[in-house]
């Protein structure tokens, strides 16, 4: 009889804010055109700011960690520029800066030739670490904000700091919903390695989806791509739209799984297309958006999305990281959507916003993306990667530099939206250039289905604080907040989210005294879930197969010894403030037992393979009964094919196929219908 002990571990070291960190990774990105009459982007900048009142020094290097870029450093408040050749940039809270990468003649590198944006013909190839991507490091915390612009397009993205690094991601974004005649429309994923010999696999791509293959006219195709990257190298997949027709290019990449054996950083986005029912099935309205992801373990199960200015044109995209994920909208008692498979997604329509807020609750961790508009113009769309709710989040954003501008371009429709814990007596305090700014609606607006939060909106563009152009924004509150900035000018719009991922404790069920993380239960063995957590973190509720277990509301729970049915177990913790913290899921199975072999004449094994110098028995393999092939060795083992998610990776399995699933950590067999772990049971 084997006894299994479980321990819930709260990793409190995760209590920091992703956008505000002392180390940031900026991946290279690719757009469909540079400098042409249909340019996607003609200017790009990197904004650095910090809450530190004293000067801090940030070292800027290329992705290889060695090469120093030549920089033009613009002091936003003083309107002065300095050439920096040693990669060290110094600034404080009152002196935010804007960076441009320059050549030896002090000429700003044009988009498509800079470390931030690479030529379209480098998509599908491995990008060297000394030409694409950048690393920012300091002993103090700071923000890194990439912004790009063109008279017709604009976009903004904040790097997420060290919590952006991980090994498991899903390709997210927003699909094209209308046909277009603009060839530059497309979506990309950019992956940067942080260590040598990093093996990256992208799978779960719809068969037939095509990606740019460098300078070759023959596209890359396939459902799986694997590349080995050295430190700082990047690999970008770019799916260009097909003109004037719907195709897999519009969404065949959405929900693809990205797995690496060492830490990577991932950015997604591109030049997105957007239409409306008024335009029929064709629309050339578009704008660009990029955002950096965080790995699966930094995600959550509760999200509040604050609507922009696009009305019902806006979309919320939810991507499942586990099978059988349910999505409830605005507090619905029953799931609004069910995502059956890993990587499945749902597009929640803009009509689901109430009071310009939308509340999503899921039973498993998900990625959430918001297609948002800076104005009512269909060409001002962007998207934001939304962080989950957290009662352990930041209480200030200090600061957003030059909030209504990208370079010299002013966006007169710039607004700030702030989500705040409703237990706070007053609205979040916002200052623009040091002058207080009241929210448009003093009391804010309620969130449907979640009374613990309210949202507030501020008119940044017309704020009296600051100069006519410089609008440095600071936000603070007595409770947890999330903040986003959106802006628009004519047909160009942008958006950026200034709130952290990874701010809530990560709850993990660890299995002790077991050969694997999959405990067995039942009358032939016993299992005890022995849980220990830090007191005072909140209320606990255990679940079996997604259903609450009656009475299992403490930090201790034991599976009944008579329960021999395989199941999934997890625990949800509700700390003060109403947030939910979800543990990982532990899968159990019926404990094995043994019976004597059946009496009778055995079959003789006729084929044997041995690595020994001499036979182990005189008649080997004939005296090894009931086998087709007998193997023997003193120091060798049989290793079968190791696969991550064979349900996705193996597109045409056959009856009896066996693999070792590296995700579920078990030997699996295909029975003609489904893959199942092979668990020893009574014969």
**Nearest partner of 378 among 269, 496, 461, 282, judged by Cα:** 282
Q: For residue range 420-440, what is the model confidence (pLDDT) as tens digits? A: 987 666 899 999 999 999 999
Task: Indicate if 265 and 365 belong to the same structural domain.
Answer: yes
Task: Indicate if 107 and 128 belong to the same structural domain.
Answer: yes
Place of tokens 């429709």: 413
Task: Indicate if 438 and 526 belong to the same structural domain.
Answer: no
Residue 200 has pLDDT above 90, yes or no: yes
**Nearest partner of 581 among 11, 7, 165, judged by Cα:** 11
Q: What is the mean pLDDT of residues 29-42?
A: 79
Would you say 173 and 157 are in contact if contact means Cβ atoms under 8 Å apart?
no
Query: Domain boundary residue among 466, 499, 532?
Result: 499
DSSP reduced 3-state for 444 = coil
Residue 119 pLDDT: 95
Task: Indicate if 404 and 541 belong to the same structural domain.
Answer: no
Q: What is the percent of the chain where pLDDT is above 70?
A: 86
DSSP reduced 3-state for 89 = strand
Whole-angstrom distance, CA of residue 68 vs CA of residue 85: 7
Residue 276 pLDDT: 58
Place of tokens 């995700």: 663
Identify how many contiguous H helices and E strands the chain contains and give both numbers: 1, 52
Residue 14 pLDDT: 37
505 is a domain residue: no
| Phi then psi dihedrals of residue 123, to 5 deg | -65, 140
Q: What is the mean pLDDT of residues 520-544?
A: 62
Token digits of residue 645: 């998610």
Residue 1 has pLDDT above 60, yes or no: no
278 is a domain residue: yes
Judge if the upstream peptide bond of residue 621 is cis by omega within 30 degrees of 0.
Answer: yes
Buried b (16+ CB within 10 A) or exposed e, 520-553: bbbebbbbbbbbebeeebbebbbbbeeeeeeebe
473 is a domain residue: yes
Task: Indicate if 666 and 542 belong to the same structural domain.
Answer: no
Query: Domain boundary residue among 499, 522, 552?
Result: 499
What are the beta bridge partners of residue 328?
361
| Phi then psi dihedrals of residue 576, to 5 deg | -55, 135
What lies within 8 Å, CB to CB, of 83 at 6+ separation is 70, 71, 72, 73, 102, 106
Place of tokens 């969404």: 251
DSSP reduced 3-state for 506 = strand
Q: Where are the beta strands (DSSP E) in 151-256?
A: 153-158, 166-170, 186-193, 198-203, 210-213, 216-221, 225-229, 234-240
Whole-angstrom distance, CA of residue 220 vs CA of residue 188: 13
DSSP reduced 3-state for 11 = strand
Rg of the chain on CA atoms, in Å: 27
**Nearest partner of 416 among 378, 501, 473, 465, judged by Cα:** 473
Whole-angstrom distance, CA of residue 388 vs CA of residue 296: 12
Q: Is 65 exposed, middle or buried (0-12, 13-18, 19+ CB in 10 A)?
A: middle
pTM of the model: 0.77
Task: Indicate if 472 and 367 belong to the same structural domain.
Answer: yes
DSSP string, 96-122: -EEEEEB-TTSPBPPTTSSSSB--GGG
Higher local confidence (pLDDT), 560 or 375: 375
State the pLDDT confidence band at 248, using cuts at 50, 70 and 90: very high
Would you say 320 and 366 are in contact if contact means Cβ atoms under 8 Å apart?
yes
Residue 528 has pLDDT above 80, yes or no: no
Q: Count of CB atoms within 10 A of residue 196's CB? A: 12
299 is a domain residue: yes
Lowest mean pLDDT among 289-298, 322-331, 353-362, 652-661: 652-661
Residue 65 has pLDDT above 80, yes or no: yes
329 is a domain residue: yes
Residue 651 pLDDT: 81
457 is a domain residue: yes
Higher local confidence (pLDDT), 466 or 104: 104
What lies within 8 Å, CB to CB, of 105 at 6+ separation is none
Q: For residue range 160-191, what is the model confidence (pLDDT) as tens digits? A: 999 999 999 999 998 888 888 888 889 999 99
Task: Indicate if 137 and 256 belong to the same structural domain.
Answer: yes
Query: Domain boundary residue among 467, 499, 531?
Result: 499
State the pLDDT confidence band at 31, using cuts at 50, 70 and 90: confident
DSSP reduced 3-state for 312 = helix
Would you say 505 and 16 are in contact if contact means Cβ atoms under 8 Å apart?
no
Q: For residue range 335-357, what is the model confidence (pLDDT) as tens digits? A: 999 999 999 999 999 999 999 99
Residue 516 pLDDT: 47
DSSP string, 352-363: G-BTTEEEEEEE
DSSP string, 240-296: EPPTTS--GGGTTTTT-EEEEEEEEEEEEEEEEE---GGGTTB---EEEEEEE---G
CA dihedral 97, 120, 249, 133 (to 10 degrees): -40
Residue 579 pLDDT: 65
What is the domain-level CATH number for residue 585?
A: 2.60.40.10
Q: Is 673 exposed, middle or buried (0-12, 13-18, 19+ CB in 10 A)?
A: exposed
State the pLDDT confidence band at 251, using cuts at 50, 70 and 90: very high
Q: Which domain holds residue 543?
A: 510-590
Whole-angstrom distance, CA of residue 120 vs CA of residue 101: 19
Q: Count of CB atoms within 10 A of residue 626's CB? A: 10
CA angle, residues 233, 239, 245, in degrees to nearest 5: 175
Q: Is 244 exposed, middle or buried (0-12, 13-18, 19+ CB in 10 A)?
A: exposed
**Nearest partner of 514 among 434, 445, 463, 586, judged by Cα:** 586
**Nearest partner of 369 among 497, 190, 505, judged by Cα:** 497
Would you say 117 and 29 are in contact if contact means Cβ atoms under 8 Å apart?
yes
What lies within 8 Å, CB to CB, of 601 at 6+ separation is none
Lowest mean pLDDT among 246-250, 588-592, 673-677: 588-592
CA angle, residues 616, 620, 622, in degrees to nearest 5: 150
Task: Indicate if 331 and 350 belong to the same structural domain.
Answer: yes
Q: What is the mean pLDDT of residues 210-226?
A: 96
Residue 269 pLDDT: 93
Beta pairing, strands 581-582 & 586-587: unpaired
Whole-angstrom distance, CA of residue 101 vs CA of residue 154: 19
Cα atoms found within 13 Å of the Cα of residue 193, Cβ hemisphere only: 25
Q: What is the mean pLDDT of the chain?
A: 86
Q: What is the mean pLDDT of residues 604-624?
A: 78
487 is a domain residue: yes
267 is a domain residue: yes
Greatest alpha-carbon span in the chain? 96
Report how far apart the first and last C-alpha atoms of the chain are (Å, whole number): 18
Task: Indicate if 494 and 517 belong to the same structural domain.
Answer: no
Q: What is the mean pLDDT of residues 455-478?
A: 91
Q: Is 363 exposed, middle or buried (0-12, 13-18, 19+ CB in 10 A)?
A: buried
Residue 260 has pLDDT above 90, yes or no: yes
DSSP reduced 3-state for 162 = helix
State the pLDDT confidence band at 6, using cuts at 50, 70 and 90: very low
Task: Indicate if 151 and 242 belong to the same structural domain.
Answer: yes
Buried b (16+ CB within 10 A) or exposed e, 429-442: ebbbbeeebebeee
Task: Indicate if 284 and 150 belong to the same structural domain.
Answer: yes
Whole-angstrom distance, CA of residue 437 vs CA of residue 396: 15
Lowest mean pLDDT among 141-150, 291-300, 480-489, 517-526: 517-526
How long a stretch of residues is the chain?
Answer: 683
Whole-angstrom distance, CA of residue 432 vs CA of residue 499: 18
Residue 128 has pLDDT above 90, yes or no: yes
Residue 8 pLDDT: 42
Task: Indicate if 558 and 618 belong to the same structural domain.
Answer: no
Count the domains in the chain: 3
**Nearest partner of 191 among 242, 222, 232, judged by Cα:** 232
């Amino acid at each position: 009889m084997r006894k299994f002990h479980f321990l819930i571990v709260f990793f409190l070291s995760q209590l920091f804010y992703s956008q505000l960190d002392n180390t940031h990774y900026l991946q290279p990105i690719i757009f469909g055109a540079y400098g042409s009459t249909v340019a996607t982007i003609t200017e790009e900048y990197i904004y650095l700011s910090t809450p530190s009142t004293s000067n801090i020094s940030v070292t800027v290097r290329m992705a290889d960690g060695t090469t120093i870029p030549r920089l033009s450093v613009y002091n936003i408040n003083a309107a002065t520029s300095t050439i920096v050749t040693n990669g060290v940039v110094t600034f404080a809270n009152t002196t935010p800066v804007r960076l441009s990468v320059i050549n030896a003649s002090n000429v700003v590198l044009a988009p498509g030739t800079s470390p931030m944006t690479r030529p379209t013909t480098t998509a599908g190839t491995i990008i060297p670490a000394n030409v694409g991507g950048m690393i920012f490091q300091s002993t103090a915390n700071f923000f890194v904000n990439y912004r790009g612009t063109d008279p017709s397009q604009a976009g903004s993205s904040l790097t997420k700091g060290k919590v952006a690094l991980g090994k498991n991601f899903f390709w997210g974004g927003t699909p094209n919903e209308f046909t277009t005649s603009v060839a530059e429309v497309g979506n990309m994923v950019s992956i940067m390695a942080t260590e040598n010999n990093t093996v990256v696999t992208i799978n779960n791509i719809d068969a037939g989806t095509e990606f740019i293959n460098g300078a070759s006219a023959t596209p890359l195709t396939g459902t799986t791509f694997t590349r080995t990257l050295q430190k700082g190298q990047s690999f970008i997949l770019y799916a260009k739209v097909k003109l004037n027709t719907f195709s897999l290019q519009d969404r065949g990449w959405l929900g693809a799984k990205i797995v690496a054996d060492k830490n990577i950083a991932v950015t997604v986005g591109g030049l997105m297309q957007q239409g409306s029912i008024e335009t029929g099935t064709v629309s050339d309205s578009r704008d660009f958006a990029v955002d950096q992801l965080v790995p699966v373990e930094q995600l959550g199960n509760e999200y509040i999305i604050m609507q922009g200015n696009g009305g019902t044109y806006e979309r919320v995209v939810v991507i499942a990281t586990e099978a059988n994920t349910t999505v409830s909208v605005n507090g619905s008692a029953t799931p609004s959507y069910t995502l059956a498979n890993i990587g499945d997604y749902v597009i929640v329509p803009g009509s689901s916003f109430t009071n310009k807020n939308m509340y999503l609750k899921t039973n498993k961790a998900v990625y959430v993306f918001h297609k948002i508009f800076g104005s009512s113009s269909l060409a001002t769309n962007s998207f934001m990667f939304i962080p989950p709710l957290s009662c352990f989040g930041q209480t200030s954003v200090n600061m957003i530099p030059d909030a209504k501008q990208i370079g010299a371009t002013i966006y007169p429709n710039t607004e700030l939206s702030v989500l705040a814990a409703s237990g706070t007596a007053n609205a979040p305090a916002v200052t623009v250039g040091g002058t207080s700014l009241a929210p448009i609606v003093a009391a804010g607006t309620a969130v449907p289905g979640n009374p613990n939060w309210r949202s507030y909106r501020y008119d940044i563009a017309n704020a009296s604080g600051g100069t006519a152009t410089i609008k440095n924004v600071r936000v603070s509150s007595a409770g947890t907040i999330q903040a986003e900035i959106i802006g628009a000018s004519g047909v160009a719009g942008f958006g950026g989210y200034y709130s952290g991922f990874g701010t809530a404790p990560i709850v993990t069920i660890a299995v002790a005294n077991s050969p694997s993380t999959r405990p067995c239960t039942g009358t032939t063995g016993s299992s005890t879930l022995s849980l220990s957590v830090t007191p005072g973190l909140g209320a606990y509720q255990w679940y079996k197969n997604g259903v609450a277990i009656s009475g299992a509301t403490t930090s201790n729970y034991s599976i009944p010894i008579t329960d021999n049915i395989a199941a999934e177990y997890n625990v949800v913790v509700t700390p003060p403030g109403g947030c939910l913290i979800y543990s990982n899921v532990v899968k159990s199975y019926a404990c094995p037992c043994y019976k004597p072999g059946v009496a009778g004449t055995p079959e003789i094994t006729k084929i044997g393979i041995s690595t020994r110098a001499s036979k182990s028995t005189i008649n080997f393999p004939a005296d090894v009964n009931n086998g087709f092939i007998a193997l023997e060795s003193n120091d060798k083992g049989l290793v079968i094919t190791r696969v991550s998610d064979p349900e996705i990776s193996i597109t045409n399995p056959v009856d009896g196929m066996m693999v070792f699933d590296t995700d579920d950590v078990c030997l699996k067999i295909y029975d003609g219908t489904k893959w199942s772990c092979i668990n020893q049971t009574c014969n």
